[in-house]
């Protein structure tokens, strides 16, 4: 009897889990017409833009299914909390203790997922290489230089148990830091700004890399858009960086 490969099993599980989480995935146009407070941002490039390092199928599933499910579930949680739904997401996440207990976990998981992925799409689609501009100078000043920074970042991502993220934080003076978070938690929950970050949930890499997370982490640097990271850095120093 033919046994399905682990790759095919995972692809089926990804699709089924996303469908179960969001049986009616919201398109951005539907969300806007229905007056929902949060919408799925479009990818700022074609799903194939990050190939061969991240394949188009992974990008489509990740954005169109997983991120869309976070947006739908966040809107559903806030449906009967009109005043809360008007709050900017970064403020909501920074004040989770003030979110009603009945929806706090849903807001934490789905609001965090929406914030993390909204950042994630922005900083990819580039050609990698060396950091540039003020970000490079800040990395050299605060994180021990580019090589040490990338090694420390990758190691933190490798050691994150289970699902989660590894982030570069930035404060209003431009100082950088590194932190890993489980699940869809985000430094926004600690009142920090996020300069950039990488998703180490299996759905971000499994179709290409299976269980080889270190290989994915290393390859991911090839798709970072340092120009966009510099834009976020400037916004942080100007007090305008949100998600």
- Model pLDDT for residues 39-49, shown as the tens digit of each residue: 999 999 999 99
Is residue 173, in this structure, part of any structural domain at all? Answer: yes
The answer to the question of residue 184 being in a domain is yes
Please give the pLDDT value at position 35. 72
- The total of structural domains in the chain comes to 2
Q: Which CATH number do you get for residue 208?
A: 3.55.40.20
Give residue 3's pLDDT: 47
Say which CATH number the domain at 65 has. 1.10.287.990
162 with 200, same domain: the answer is yes
**pLDDT value, residue 5:** 52
DSSP letter string, the chain: -PPPPHHHHHHHHHHHHHHHH-TTPPPHHHHHHTT-S--PPPPSS-GGGGTTTS-HHHHHIIIIIIIHHHHHHHHHHHTT-HHHHTS-HHHHHHTGGGS-HHHHHHIIIIIHHHHHHHHHHHHBSS---S--HHHHHHHHHHSSSHHHHHHHHHHHHHHS-SSEEEEEEE-TT--EEEEEEETT--GGGGT-EEEEEEE-SGGGTHHHHTT-HHHHHHHHGGGB-HHHHHHHHHHHHTT----
Same domain flag for 150 and 119? no
The residues of the chain scoring below 70 in pLDDT are 1-34
Q: In the listed set 66, 95, 123, which residue is the last one of a domain according to the structure? A: 123
Q: Domain containing 199: what range?
A: 133-237
Domain closes at, from 75, 93, 123: 123
Let me know whether 112 and 152 are in one domain: no
Q: What average pLDDT does the structure give for the chain?
A: 90
Looking at the structure, do residues 90 and 185 belong to the same domain, yes or no? no
- Give the model confidence (pLDDT) of 21-35 as tens digits: 333 333 343 344 357
What local confidence, expressed as pLDDT, does residue 34 receive? 55
């Amino acid at each position: 009897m033919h046994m399905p490969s682990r790759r095919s099993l995972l692809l089926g599980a990804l699709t089924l889990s996303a469908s179960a989480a969001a049986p009616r995935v919201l398109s951005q146009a539907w969300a806007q017409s229905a007056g929902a407070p949060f919408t799925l941002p479009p990818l700022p490039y074609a799903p194939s833009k990050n190939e061969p390092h991240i394949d188009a199928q992974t990008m489509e599933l990740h954005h169109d299914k997983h991120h869309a499910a976070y947006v739908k579930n966040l809107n559903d949680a806030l449906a009967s909390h009109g005043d809360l739904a008007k709050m900017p997401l970064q403020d909501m996440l920074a004040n989770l203790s003030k979110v009603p207990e009945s929806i706090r976990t849903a807001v934490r998981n789905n609001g965090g997922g929406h914030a993390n992925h909204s950042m994630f799409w922005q900083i990819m689609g580039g050609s990698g290489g060396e950091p540039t501009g003020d970000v490079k100078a800040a990395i050299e000043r605060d994180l021990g230089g580019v090589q040490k920074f990338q090694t420390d970042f990758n190691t933190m991502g490798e050691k994150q148990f289970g699902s989660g993220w590894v982030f570069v934080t930035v404060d209003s003076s431009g100082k950088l830091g590194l932190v890993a978070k489980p699940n869809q938690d985000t430094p926004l929950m600690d009142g920090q700004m996020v300069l950039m970050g990488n998703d180490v949930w299996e759905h971000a890499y499994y179709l290409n890399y299976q269980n080889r997370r270190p290989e994915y982490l290393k390859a991911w640097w090839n798709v970072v858009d340092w120009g966009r990271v510099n834009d976020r850095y400037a916004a942080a120093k100007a007090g305008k960086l949100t998600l």
